[in-house]
Each structure stands twice: as C-alpha cells, then as structure tokens.
C-alpha cells in the first residue's frame, strides 16, 4: 500500500499476500476496508478469479470490477465425455486455476500432487470428476491441517515430513516450514472442500 515502492514491487507484494486461503481472507479484508489501492486491484481480480472458494469470489466481486461470478452450468460428465477436448483451452484453464497448487511438466506450484502423469493413472471420466470436484478425493499424505504454534502463529498445509523432534509443514504456495514439535501447540484437520 506504500506508494514509496514501485508499482512492480507493490504488485508482487499483493500477489504474495493473496496466496492461500488465509491470504485471500486478508486481501478481502483490505477490500472491505477500502484500503487496497486502485493500481493493484487488477492483481486482486486475478487472485479471486483463481480461488477455489466461490463464496470468496462472490464476496470480492462486491468490491472489484471485472470479477463476475461465474454462473455457467456445465453439462453432466456423461455429456462431457462425448465432446472433443481442446488442449489449448485446457492448458489455459490449468494455468488459471490448477497451477496454484499442482505441477504439470515442470509448470505450476509444487504443493499438491504432481499431475504430469495423471492421464496414465485416471480414466477420462475420473479426470473430469477430479477437475470438477478437486477436493472430493484428497490423495494420501496431502490431507490439510491448521497448525497452531506456541507463539500464536498459524500455518495451513500438510505434513511433508516429521521426525521424533521436528515437523516440516508444506504450506500453501509450496514452501516447507520446519518447526520443533515442542513448539507445536495444536493441529486441526481442515475440512475437505
């Protein structure tokens, strides 16, 4: 928000702020308080267009021009299976939505499972179902938690690794954060979306 910094730096800061669910919530709060500068609102539009939470998109649309709430109805999966796919459009959809958590052919964010070989693992019907309801089947080891540390910090992510003394949490955005288990006050399983 500080105009002493270049637009490029403030745009990068807004993008970083909007990462993950807690970041989206902080960004929405700035919008509700009318504190987000106009020259970075286009970044917020991009962030809320990519969110996997329709309620966040709808709430943000009250404060952002260009953020229409999608109301298009897709045909049932059985009808989608009869249609011919479009790789270019599919790549654009992946880049806009899926790449915030997944990697395909070294593109995207290394947070959720790597999807580079997904075509050899799932049927076309199963892929449609996974795309339309991505949280319906969380892969083993990617179950989400909120971790509350003794110092009051909260981390959202999943357990990447742990030893007897230390736990490494992969937080939204794909970054590992390690902490001593004795500093971990509580962990709560996040509900599947």
Ordered by where they begin, the domains of the chain are 7-61 (no CATH), 77-132 (no CATH), 145-189 (2.30.30.100)
- Token pair 């001593």 in the structure block, residue: 180
> Whole-angstrom Cα distance, residue 153 to residue 146?
10
> Whole-angstrom Cα distance, residue 71 to residue 61?
13
| Tens digit of each residue's pLDDT (9 = 90 or more) over 45-64 | 888 887 777 788 888 888 88
Confidence of residue 160 (pLDDT cuts 50, 70, 90): very high
Cα–Cα distance list, 163 to 3, 98, 141, 146, 169 (Å): 45, 31, 15, 19, 12
> Whole-angstrom Cα distance, residue 66 to residue 136?
30
> Whole-angstrom Cα distance, residue 173 to residue 46?
16
Q: What is the pLDDT, as a whole number, of residue 70? A: 46
Average per-residue pLDDT in the chain? 84
Q: What is the pLDDT, as a whole number, of residue 190? A: 64
Q: What is the pLDDT, as a whole number, of residue 192? A: 52
Least Cα distance to 135 among 157, 112, 114 occurs for 112
| Tens digit of each residue's pLDDT (9 = 90 or more) over 14-28 | 988 888 888 889 999
Q: What is the pLDDT, as a whole number, of residue 67? A: 64
Query: Residue 191 pLDDT more than 70?
Result: no
Phi, psi (rounded to 5 degrees) for 51: -60, 150
Residue 75's Cβ-count burial label (10 Å; 0-12, 13-18, 19+) is exposed
Residues 6+ positions from 17 with CB-CB distance below 8 Å: 23, 26, 27
Query: Residue 74 pLDDT more than 80?
Result: no
Confidence of residue 3 (pLDDT cuts 50, 70, 90): confident
């Amino acid at each position: 928000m500080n105009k002493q910094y270049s637009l490029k730096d403030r745009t990068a800061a807004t993008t970083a702020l909007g990462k993950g669910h807690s970041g989206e919530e902080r960004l929405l709060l700035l919008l509700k308080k009318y504190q987000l500068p106009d020259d970075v609102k286009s970044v917020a539009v991009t962030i809320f267009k990519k969110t996997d939470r329709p309620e966040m998109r709808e709430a943000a649309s009250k404060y952002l021009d260009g953020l229409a709430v999608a109301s298009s109805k897709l045909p049932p999966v059985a009808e989608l299976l009869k249609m011919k796919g479009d790789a270019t459009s599919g790549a654009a959809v992946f880049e806009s939505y899926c790449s915030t958590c997944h990697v395909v052919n070294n593109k995207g964010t290394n947070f959720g499972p790597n999807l580079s070989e997904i075509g050899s693992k799932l049927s076309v019907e199963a892929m449609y179902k996974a795309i339309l309801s991505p949280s319906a089947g969380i892969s083993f080891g990617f179950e989400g938690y909120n971790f509350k540390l003794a110092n009051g910090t909260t981390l959202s992510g999943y357990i990447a690794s742990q030893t007897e003394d230390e736990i490494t949490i992969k937080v939204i955005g794909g970054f590992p954060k390690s902490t001593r288990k004795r500093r971990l006050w509580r962990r709560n399983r996040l509900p599947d979306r």
